[in-house]
Amino acid sequence: MTDHVSVREVGLRDGLQLVSTILPTKTKLEWCQEQAAAGFREIEVTSFVPPSILPQFSDAAEVLSGALAIDGLLASTLVPNLKGAVRAMDAGARKITFVLSASEAHNQSNVRRSTDESLAMFREVMEERASRNLVDEIQIAGVIAKSFGCSLQGSVSESRVCEIANLMAGYGADEINVADTVGYANPVQVERLLQKVDSVTGAVPIAAHFHDTRGMGLANVAAGVRVGVRRFDASLGGLGGCPFAPGATGNIATEDCVYLLESIGLSTGIDMQALLEVREKLNNWLTDERLEGRLSKVGVAKTFS
């Protein structure tokens, strides 16, 4: 196992989709630049969804264009359907994360189609990439939301999550992201499911996305580390959640996640002090929003190095 861990900032997408403040495009790009300068190599910068549904992302193409100009940064974008993926490709995306839900109830609430229909659309996205001869130019990740439970339907079958992961990998996904959209997961469950998913996806890398809704987020990151996962999503200030999933508040705070990983001897390549300075700026960018995270309040321990 490698001792390097990739932390992907998702605050500009998952974080901003649940806040009432519409952040100016210029500020979004400043945020991207600041975190890239702090050592982040991947940031999910926007979402290609209808502006009428999420006006926060009406500037998606402009934000992506600006982020693509940041040296050394992989600017990823989230899409829920083929139309969004086509828009992202047209805008020059180099990584697209296609999200569907293992929960039928949530998938219907989120994108108004069955999970199987979303899987078929994911395959269409892969075919669209191939038809444009962009297989080597654009990465496509499959995100499986509600992998650990659902606030709409309750339990979610682990075998169903594995079936979806296997199909996505077979369609050519470059990454499988297993997501705890509403903070239902616990460390034992995380270890068990991530190992099962890994067993059916071959060499495709596994990423994990945890929410801290019930205070389990960082414990779940540690559980993921124990079974070999080395890619994690996090949101600065603990912002975020799905607007179509009741109770889906609070991603794990990026600053706390980086601190955890570095503290246990793993390398993220991120400058902790620079990250905390960006976190302080977030207070000014989102003055009316509630921000979470412990590290920004108390700072690093004297023993941290």
Active-site residues: which are they?
242
Residue 233's nearest CA partner among 109, 65, 99, 123 is 99
**Exposed e or buried b for every residue in 55-73, given b needs 16+ CB within 10 A?**
ebbbbbbebbebbbebeeb
* Residue in 255, 212, 205 with CA at minimum distance from that of residue 231: 205
d(CA 291, CA 289): 6
- Asked if 78 and 45 count as a contact pair (C-beta separation under 8 A), the reply is no
Residue 37 identity = A
Closest C-alpha among 180, 186, 144, 181 to residue 161: 144
